[in-house]
Structure formats: C-alpha cells, structure tokens
Amino acid sequence: MPTIAHDHQANLDRIARDYGVSSTDSFVGDITEYVTRDREALDFNNFIAEGGRFTRIRLLTERGYPYMDCSYAYGILPDGTEVRLTDGVNDYKLGRRTYRSQIAAQIKAAGGTRAQQQQAWDTGVYAILWG
C-alpha cells in the first residue's frame, strides 16, 4: 500500500509530466488538507515580532524569469495559533539566486532572530515550483 509520501511524490511526478513543471518539495503529509485548513490572517512583521515559526513557504518561478514569487506562507505562533501570512514575504520579487538571503533580510528587518531566519529553510517548510 502506498504511503502519503509516496502518493505525494507520485502526484509531483504527474504534474511534472502533464504540465512541464518540477517541484522541490519536501513536505510530508496531506498537502491538500494542509493548504485548505482555516487559519487566522497575520501580517509578516507581526508574525515575526510575536516569535512565529514558519510551517510552509511556497515559491513559484518560470523558465527564463529571474525572480520568484511567494505563492503562500503559513506559520505557527508560540501559543499554537496557526496563521496565514497576508503580506510581507508575498510583496517582494525574490531573486532566483538570492531568495534565501532576501527572506532572511526581511526577517531580520522585522526584528526576527537568527533561529527564525534559519528555520525558514528546514526540511518540509519550503517548496519551489519551477515552471
């Protein structure tokens, strides 16, 4: 019997074949349930100031396009509240070669810690859809 991880990889393979895109996606679990879950909306600066931890960042780009866009970003606050980031990381064109440092700089500018900067790139947190 296939596992959720196996099904997820099979779905990524199908999308790549059918649409000509690829994804670096280390998310583990039911992605459909995860992205459709109700969450409170919170802006990026308040999320960082309250000590939020990213749970998912989804970046998108296309062949020949020098930038990435943030499709969505989710996180969790220290009190366990799940949030959807409404602005901040979503507002910038992120360079394909500099996206990590740009997001880290945004976190730092919002008063975030080094741990928050590093945590954004943990396995299972970020994904990139390459067109």
Query: Which amino acid is residue 121, in one-letter code?
Result: W
Q: Which two tokens stand for residue 87?
A: 């602005």
Percent of the chain with pLDDT over 70: 75
Summarised one tens digit per residue, pLDDT across range 22-71 is: 666 666 666 667 777 788 999 999 999 999 999 988 888 888 889 998 88
130, containing H or E segment: strand 126-130
By CB neighbour count within 10 A (0-12 exposed, 13-18 middle, 19+ buried), where does 3 fall? exposed
- Which of 118, 98, 96 has the alpha carbon at shortest distance from 107? 118
- Sign of CA pseudo-dihedral 99, 100, 101, 104: positive
pLDDT top residue among 120 and 51: 51
pLDDT of residue 88: 66
Comparison of pLDDT for 129 and 13, the residue scoring more: 129
**How far apart are the two ends of the chain, measured CA to CA in Å?**
31
The domain locations on the chain are 4-130
The residue-averaged pLDDT of 98-127 equals 89
Q: Which residue has the higher pLDDT, 104 or 13?
A: 104
pLDDT surpassing 90 at residue 90: no
In this prediction, residue 3 carries a pLDDT of: 47
Q: Where are the beta strands (DSSP E) in 1-119?
A: 22-25, 40-42, 53-61, 67-76, 82-85, 94-95
Q: Which helix (H) or strand (E) holds 6?
A: helix 4-19
Going by pLDDT thresholds of 50, 70 and 90, the confidence category of residue 6 is: low
Whole-number pLDDT of residue 128: 85
Cα 53 from chain centre: 12
Tokens at residue 27, please? 């998310």
pTM to 2 decimal places: 0.76
